[in-house]
């Protein structure tokens, strides 16, 4: 049965000490052995250790010799990738929780004799209140718009942000430049880290996220217990230009206007619509909108062709009850309303990840209110990385 490695307690391997003969006093001629001692190897964690932290090194200390190799393997028998320096083996991606590891260390004595020491240990298994889970977007294998970030949302505050960010790897098919940035999500208050390109994605780009996060301590003694991965393809370039003052939404594809439709936006005196860039978070179809869910009062209504733009409740949707002022006045509770036929057409064209660029509303939407990071300059966005010098 395979076992495993991590940091915690020490273990001494076998010592083999040479026996020497001493000559008596007087004129006898007994010879003295010049044999050198075998190398002594001690390993941490100790053999059989349990509840070992998964985010520390495996160490080997050698007496009377030189350490030549350390290997660590998991239950599948495959070696764990890592680096060996000054007797400490540090896994490239850390170790998983609740997992057995085996350690093998080889040393050579001053006389050239090889010593091999082996041990096994098991990493800790966090209890329910010490675990951290993550929601990852976009969903794997999907096609998304040019504004869609890679996004990980955590269910508890993340104190060790740099430790998390170091584990995240983004690969694109065309070397797209981008950066991670940490945000506090509006309303929920949850910590989120997004990877945003410097500029909108190039259509056709394939992007992959690898997040080997199992075993990472996020702070306050909480551990991530899973690793994550996702991939997506960037679809056609589409921007929805919304001009609140003109009561108009124009869909642009590849920089060219496809169609303009009349809209109504939020009442400027009571419930104005956000300005700025809002990335389409989801196409939710028919939903029940209640004023209380966004801190308002006065409505409880089923709405068709709903497209979510912010966490705080901004949607673009069908608004057949507002036909009398669509295209001429702004009377909504903050959403972008369209006539039934226009909403059906636009809903069929829209992709999750398309950007709505809204002008003429109230202040610019916050970066954490949905995927509002496109309202930040590239320089300001990069400053939100936990690894920015």
Helix %, strand %, coil % for the chain, to 5?
A: 10, 40, 50
Phi-psi region of 210 (alpha: psi -120 to 50; beta: other; left: phi over 0): beta
Residue 3, pLDDT > 80, answer: no
The predicted model gives 93-111 an average pLDDT of: 93
Residue 291 has a pLDDT of 67
The predicted model gives 332-350 an average pLDDT of: 97
Tokens representing residue 265 in the block: 């936006």
pLDDT in tens, 241-300: 999 999 999 999 999 999 999 999 999 999 999 999 999 999 999 999 876 566 666 678
Confidence of residue 362 (pLDDT cuts 50, 70, 90): confident
Give CA separation, 261 vs 117, 175, 337, 385, in Å: 74, 37, 10, 39
Residue 34 has a pLDDT of 54
The Cα 165–Cα 179 span in angstroms is 10
pLDDT in tens, 108-144: 998 899 999 999 999 999 987 889 999 999 999 999 9
Q: What domains are there in the chain, each with its CATH number?
A: 11-17+36-123 (2.60.40.3780), 128-234 (2.60.40.3710), 238-375 (2.40.440.10)
Residue 137 has a pLDDT of 98
The Cα 260–Cα 279 span in angstroms is 19
The Cα 371–Cα 363 span in angstroms is 16
Burial 315-338 (b: 16+ CB within 10 A, else e): bbbbbeebeeebbeebbbbbbbbb
Residue 66: DSSP 8-state: E
DSSP for 176-236 reads: --EEEEEEE-TTT--EEEEEEESSSPPTT-EEEEEE--TT-EEETTEEE---EEEEEEE--
Tokens representing residue 252 in the block: 């642009």
45 prior amide bond cis, ω within 30:
yes
Residue 12 has a pLDDT of 30
**How does the average pLDDT of the chain come out, rounded?**
89
Closest CA to 82 of 73, 92, 74, 72: 92
Residue 31, pLDDT > 60, answer: no
């Amino acid at each position: 049965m395979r076992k495993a490695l991590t940091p915690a307690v020490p273990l001494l391997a076998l010592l083999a000490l040479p026996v020497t003969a001493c000559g008596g006093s007087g004129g006898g001629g007994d010879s003295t052995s010049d044999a050198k001692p075998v190398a002594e190897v001690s390993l941490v964690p100790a053999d059989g250790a349990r509840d070992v932290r998964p985010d520390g090194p495996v160490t080997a200390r050698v007496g009377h010799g030189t350490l030549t190799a350390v290997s660590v393997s998991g239950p599948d028998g495959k070696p764990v990738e890592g680096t060996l320096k000054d007797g400490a083996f540090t896994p490239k991606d850390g170790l998983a929780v609740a997992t057995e590891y085996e350690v093998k260390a080889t040393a050579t004595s001053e006389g050239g004799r090889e010593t091999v020491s082996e041990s096994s240990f098991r990493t800790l298994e966090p209890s329910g209140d010490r675990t951290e889970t993550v929601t990852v977007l976009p969903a794997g294998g999907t096609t998304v718009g040019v504004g869609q970030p890679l996004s990980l949302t955590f269910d508890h505050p993340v104190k060790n942000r740099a430790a998390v960010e170091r584990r995240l790897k983004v690969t694109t098919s065309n070397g797209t430049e981008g950066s991670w940035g940490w945000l506090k999500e509006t309303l929920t208050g949850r910590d989120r880290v997004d990877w945003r390109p410097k500029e909108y994605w190039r259509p056709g780009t394939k992007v992959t996220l690898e997040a080997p996060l199992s075993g990472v301590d996020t702070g306050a003694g909480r551990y991530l217990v899973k690793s994550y991965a996702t991939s997506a393809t960037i679809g056609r370039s589409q921007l929805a230009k919304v001009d609140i003052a003109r009561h108009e939404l124009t869909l642009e594809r590849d920089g060219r206007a496809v169609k303009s439709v009349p809209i109504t936006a939020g009442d400027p005196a009571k419930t104005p619509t956000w300005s700025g860039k809002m990335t389409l978070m989801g196409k939710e179809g028919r939903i029940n909108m209640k004023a209380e869910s966004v801190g308002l009062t006065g409505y409880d209504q089923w709405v068709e062709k709903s497209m979510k733009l912010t966490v705080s409740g901004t949607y673009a949707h069908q608004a057949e009850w507002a036909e009398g002022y669509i295209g001429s006045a702004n009377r909504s509770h903050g959403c972008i309303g369209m006539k039934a036929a226009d909403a059906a057409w636009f809903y069929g064209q829209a992709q999750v990840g398309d950007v709505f660029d809204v002008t003429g509303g109230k202040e610019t939407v916050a970066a954490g209110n949905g995927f509002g990071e496109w309202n930040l300059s590239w320089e300001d966005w990069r400053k939100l990385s936990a690894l920015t010098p």
